[in-house]
Amino acid sequence: MKITNLKKGTTWNILNEYFSTIGGLSIFTMEFLKNFFKPPYDFGEIKKHMDELGVKTLPIVSITGFIIGFVLVLQSQPIMIRFGAESFLPSMVSLSVIRELGPVLTALIFAGRVSSGIGAELGSMRVTEQIDAMEVSAINPFRFLVVTRVIACTIILPILCVYVIFIAIIGGYIALILSQKMNFSYYTDSVLASLKFGDVIPSILKTYVFGFIVGIVGSYKGYTAENGTEGVGKASTTSVVLSSLLILLFDSVLGKLTLWLWPT
């Protein structure tokens, strides 16, 4: 009997927390939109966050992008040789990276580094009452802390995605050089010939949604943190989990939408 009650209580707590998070995040997003359309904008603060959240992420996404292209070629080449389609390797790498692997993996890495950082930073400001002090000082903390960070994330992630795609294609070429010494002009011609408008633009556009998700989730978890240092740690970890899940969810929806709008 006690075990049954424990399970019911645990399930109820999980469901309650789940729906509370959805409701709270929805209200938080509406508050962001309300403040977003109210100029003036603090461009200096946005630029600062773009540097902190985006430029400092370059090393890890550079390594990731190179490994994506390099490993994709190494793993796919034996299969392509088996079917006599080795000449299609450049096209396969470019399409795989541009349509799916590049945007999604870049967004997930960005979420792991940036969303947790935003959650921890704003969470520590909340529990140490710095946000309350800003409200007393007649400063709108939501506009200064949240809006600027979300805008910065939304702008910087597509730029990082384009950079990762370029590095991944270079990584694929290096893998082909090591295995069969493919000519660079043939590789680039094959890559460019295989790409269409419906491959590139929709994939880049959806990274704006991913960047917004990373920024809004991290800000929400940090801005609403409570229970001291324990709440800061929880805000940091849950922001990564939630933003990653939302990225994968929206990727499936946006992937289907882009295929409908721009059929291959």
Q: How many CB atoms lie within 10 A of CB 66?
A: 19
Q: Rounded to whole angstroms, how far apart are CA atoms 11 and 185?
A: 59
The pLDDT, as a whole number, for residue 264 is: 60
Q: Looking at the domain assignment, is residue 131 inside a domain?
A: yes
- Two tokens, residue 105: 């993996």
Tell me: the pLDDT tens digits for 189-233? 888 888 887 788 888 999 999 999 999 999 999 998 888 788 888
**Statement: residue 263 has pLDDT above 70:** no
In this prediction, residues 247-251 reach a mean pLDDT of 93
Maximal CA-CA distance, the chain: 72
Q: Rounded to whole angstroms, how far apart are CA atoms 109 and 204?
A: 16
Q: Rounded to whole angstroms, how far apart are CA atoms 32 and 112?
A: 22
Global model pTM greater than 0.75: yes
Q: Looking at the domain assignment, is residue 25 inside a domain?
A: no
Q: What are phi and psi of 47, to 5 degrees?
A: -60, -40
CA atoms within 13 A on the CB side of 121: 15
**Statement: residue 8 has pLDDT above 50:** no
The pLDDT, as a whole number, for residue 14 is: 66
- Two tokens, residue 225: 């943190």
Q: Please report, rounded to a whole number, the percentage of residues in the chain having pLDDT higher than 70.
A: 94
Position with higher pLDDT, 219 vs 15:
219
Residue located via tokens 């469901």: 15
Q: Looking at the domain assignment, is residue 22 inside a domain?
A: no
Radius of gyration of the chain measured on its C-alpha atoms = 22
Q: Looking at the domain assignment, is residue 224 inside a domain?
A: yes
Find out whether the peptide bond into 40 is cis, omega within 30 degrees of 0.
yes
Q: Looking at the domain assignment, is residue 1 inside a domain?
A: no
Q: Looking at the domain assignment, is residue 72 inside a domain?
A: yes
- Two tokens, residue 107: 């967004």
Q: Looking at the domain assignment, is residue 21 inside a domain?
A: no
The answer to whether 156 and 56 are in contact (CB under 8 A) is no
Q: Looking at the domain assignment, is residue 3 inside a domain?
A: no
In this prediction, residues 246-263 reach a mean pLDDT of 83
Instruction: Name which of 6-15, 236-245, 249-258 the model is least confident about.
Output: 6-15
> How many structural domains comprise the chain?
1
Q: How many CB atoms lie within 10 A of CB 65?
A: 27
* Average per-residue pLDDT for the chain: 86
- 149: domain range? 42-261
Confidence at 4, pLDDT banded by 50, 70, 90: very low
Position with higher pLDDT, 134 vs 107:
107
The pLDDT, as a whole number, for residue 225 is: 87
Tell me: the pLDDT tens digits for 53-94? 888 889 999 999 999 999 998 888 888 888 877 788 888 888
The pLDDT, as a whole number, for residue 33 is: 93
In this prediction, residues 171-197 reach a mean pLDDT of 85
**Statement: residue 9 has pLDDT above 80:** no
Give the chain's end-to-end CA distance (angstroms, integer). Answer: 57
Q: Rounded to whole angstroms, how far apart are CA atoms 20 and 30?
A: 15
In this prediction, residues 233-256 reach a mean pLDDT of 90
Position with higher pLDDT, 13 vs 53:
53
The pLDDT, as a whole number, for residue 17 is: 75
